[in-house]
Amino acid sequence: MSSHDLENKKLKEMLPADRILFLLKTRGPQTAMTLATSLGITPEAARQQLLRLDEEGLVEARAETRGIGRPSQVYRLTAAALKRFPDAHAELTAQLVGQIREVLGEAALEKLLRVRETTTCERYTALLAKEKSLPARVKRLAEIRSNEGYMAAWEKQGDDYLLVENHCPICAAAGVCLGFCESEQAIFQQVLGRSVQVERVEHLLAGARRCAYRIRKS
């Protein structure tokens, strides 16, 4: 099943308002017309859902000029809406990271990161063992990460592949220790093999709305 099919399956299982939140999270800011087309509903029905979400403080609209004509109302998620997505006990995790650094020192924190990296690599390697081709391995990796709350997807771009993570359930921890982000990239590199190069091209903590990794054959 492709990333597109998985997304459609998830959308069918959601309530209309949750579908809109999901699309704004995975695809970024959208107009009511674009959302309506994606959901197979009328623009008016999409606007009604957006109005309710705006009243709940979950979306906000900004006027943007797109081509010739009047500015369009483009909707995006608010900070309150982002809290609706999995965060893997963000506040507690961030506190624990800070306490480990304060009490045990930077070296101890680094050691724990390496242990986490090793165990994650071992688990991913086992889950990817049956996948022989690079596209099959990237697809399976995206599925694994989605199951862990990263809302991951993948696509082919020319001779390369793009692994996208629309959500980061450990973002709070990564915010106080960038070693988590470095470790994630190292994990992808190791499990996909030495024959490929993994490069982060979008970074949530650098201001992007998601993390994305370009995967190309070395």
Residue spans of the domains in the chain: they are 3-82, 90-217
Distance set, CA 62 to CA 19, 32, 73, 190, 210 (Å): 20, 12, 6, 42, 20
Q: Does domain 3-82 have CATH number 3.60.20.10?
A: no
Distance between CA atoms of residues 63 and 29, nearest Å: 11
Residue 68 has pLDDT above 90, yes or no: no
Q: Which helix (H) or strand (E) holds 128?
A: none
Q: Does domain 90-217 have CATH number 3.30.1380.20?
A: yes
* pTM recorded for the entire structure: 0.70
Distance set, CA 196 to CA 36, 77, 137 (Å): 39, 35, 12
Tokens of 74: 């483009």
Q: What are phi and psi of 135, to 5 degrees?
A: -60, -35
Q: How confident is the model at residue 70 (pLDDT cuts 50, 70, 90)?
A: confident
Per the model's pLDDT, the better-predicted residue between 176 and 60 turns out to be: 60
Q: How confident is the model at residue 13 (pLDDT cuts 50, 70, 90)?
A: low
